[in-house]
Structure 1
Amino acid sequence: MKQEILEAVKKAKEQTKPRNFTQSIDVVINIKDLDVNKPENRFDEEVSLPNGRGKDVKIAFIADGELAVQAENAGADLIITKKELEDLGKDRKEAKKLANRHNFFVAQADMMPLVGRFLGPVLGPRKKMPKPVPASAKPEPILERLRSTVKVRIKDQPVIQTLVGTQEMDEELIAGNIEAVLSILDRNLEKGRSQIKSMYIKTTMGPVVRVI
């Protein structure tokens, strides 16, 4: 299947018109023989793409004290302190903006009850509740991993759509990322990737190209 993936990625890149921004490349996978009404058939996982996302990822760190300082030094896009967390709880509009602007949230474990109280109503529905980390955690490896992470989920339809790179990335690198996404199917589906009904590659604004 690797050859088919490579050819489809190449075709998707060739067929997209030039835009004044770097377009993302997504893989769309339709799954057969899967009853999504059964909770055990739904999943929501994070995949670390071996060749990166090719795009900037915005990460907010909710922390105080030493962890906040280290997270800032490590390049987190936003630091939210305990006081700022409480302020966001009173300003739902700002909280929503912040939730939409950032891809991932990480929180100091002992601040999670406050996060749930003040940001939970905004982050929960967006599937962006923070990953708790101890106050002694080292932010660098956490940020590095999240910068190459995408979500792979099946919810109310037997379809997966996720980012696997950008149009500027080499086809081989994108194919490697798609392979990482397919390995999630092997783990979560009874018959693994043999349950793929069809698979497509598409750029943000370009046409859909069928792989299988």
Structure 2
Amino acid sequence: MAAISKKRKEALSKLDVNKLYSLEDASALVKDINTTKFDASVDVAVRLGVDPRKANQMVRGVVTLPHGTGKDVKVLALVTPDKEQEAKDAGADYAGLDEYIEKIKGGWTDVDVIVTMPSVMGKIGPLGRVLGPRGLMPNPKTGTVTMDVAKAVSDVKAGKIDFKVDRYGIIHAAVGKVSFEAEKIRENAEELLKTLLRMKPSAAKGTYIKSISMSSSMSPGVSIDAKSI
């Protein structure tokens, strides 16, 4: 059996693993049990009572966190020349088309989000084998394929994130950094959870939100009472 480090023991001593905490208490506790020296991300994992293998139970969407994620998101706008300056003015880190398509074909994916236009999806489609596994493929459902490129870029920079239930029925999302005030972590997490509640598929039966856990990088998870949302 692996030995438990001193820092982890200290974190576990502050946490009751059998308790369901309110979202407010969990947001404060996750800061207190963090042991990293860097500004760790705060993540929420939500296990849903859905079967992701069925199209009518797929949960996927976007949410704009009121306080952002705390991460400097790199955005690439794959757009026609007439839209390049518009994308850059909105905050895109990179903007262009053919030259970036060639870079991606060569394996370059040093971005967090790609925004594009419907008219150029024909060129981007073949990049699916590179972008798909990395979660970078633009999609109209997440607002990353649009004619209003400037708004899409500014939304992403302001804290808009997309989420998708994985094959185990779990949604994973970053809702801030441990340097955030507890109230800001709570408000971000609450916005995500309320969005998920509104998206409950009609085909999903039984308990929809089965469990919620909040953690920072390398910290134990804090279990949250879904009734506190």
TM-score normalised by length of structure 1: 0.82
The residue that corresponds to 1:184 in the other structure is: 195
> SS state of the match for residue 26, structure 1?
strand
Out of 57, 60, 75, the residue aligned to residue 91 of structure 2 is 75
The residue that corresponds to 1:113 in the other structure is: 122
Shift of 1:87: 5.2
Matched residue type, 1:129? M
Shift of 1:35: 3.0
TM-score normalised by length of structure 2: 0.76
Query: Residues 115 and 153 of structure 2 are in contact (CA less than 8 Å); yes or no, is this contact kept in structure 1?
Result: no
Listed as ranges, the gaps of 5+ residues in structure 1 are: none
* Mapping 1:45-124, distance limit 5 Å: 45-86=61-102, 88-89=104-105, 91=106, 93-94=107-108, 98=109, 101-117=110-126, 119-124=127-132
Q: Distance in 2 between matches of 1:31 and 1:24?
A: 22
Query: Residues 42 and 155 of structure 1 are in contact (CA less than 8 Å); yes or no, is this contact kept in structure 2?
Result: no
Shift of 1:145: 0.9
Q: 1:193 to 1:24 in 2, by over 3 A?
A: farther
The number of aligned residues is: 197
Matched residue type, 2:125? G
Q: Distance in 2 between matches of 1:152 and 1:171?
A: 22
Deviations 1:22-66 (A, max 9, x none): 11101112224x333322112221111122112111110112323
> SS state of the match for residue 145, structure 2?
strand
Q: Distance in 1 between matches of 2:39 and 2:205?
A: 32
Query: Residues 53 and 163 of structure 1 are in contact (CA less than 8 Å); yes or no, is this contact kept in structure 2?
Result: yes
Query: Residues 36 and 155 of structure 1 are in contact (CA less than 8 Å); yes or no, is this contact kept in structure 2?
Result: yes
Q: Distance in 2 between matches of 1:113 and 1:154?
A: 27
The residue that corresponds to 2:167 in the other structure is: 156
Q: 1:40 to 1:5 in 2, by over 3 A?
A: same
Q: Distance in 2 between matches of 1:57 and 1:112?
A: 22
Are positions 1:27 and 2:40 aligned together? no
Listed as ranges, the gaps of 5+ residues in structure 2 are: 1-20, 139-143
Q: 1:133 to 1:142 in 2, by over 3 A?
A: same
Shift of 1:161: 1.5
Query: Residues 27 and 183 of structure 2 are in contact (CA less than 8 Å); yes or no, is this contact kept in structure 1?
Result: no
Deviations 1:137-171 (A, max 9, x none): 461x3222112122222131122221111111111
Out of 211, 215, 219, the residue aligned to residue 202 of structure 1 is 215
> SS state of the match for residue 27, structure 1?
strand
> SS state of the match for residue 160, structure 1?
strand
- Relative to its length, the structure with more strand (as a share) is 1
Q: 1:205 to 1:87 in 2, by over 3 A?
A: closer
Matched residue type, 1:22? D
Q: Distance in 2 between matches of 1:85 and 1:196?
A: 40
Q: Distance in 1 between matches of 2:155 and 2:91?
A: 13
Matched residue type, 2:135? K
Matched residue type, 1:108? M
> SS state of the match for residue 136, structure 2?
coil
- Identical columns (%): 26
Q: Distance in 2 between matches of 1:132 and 1:171?
A: 34
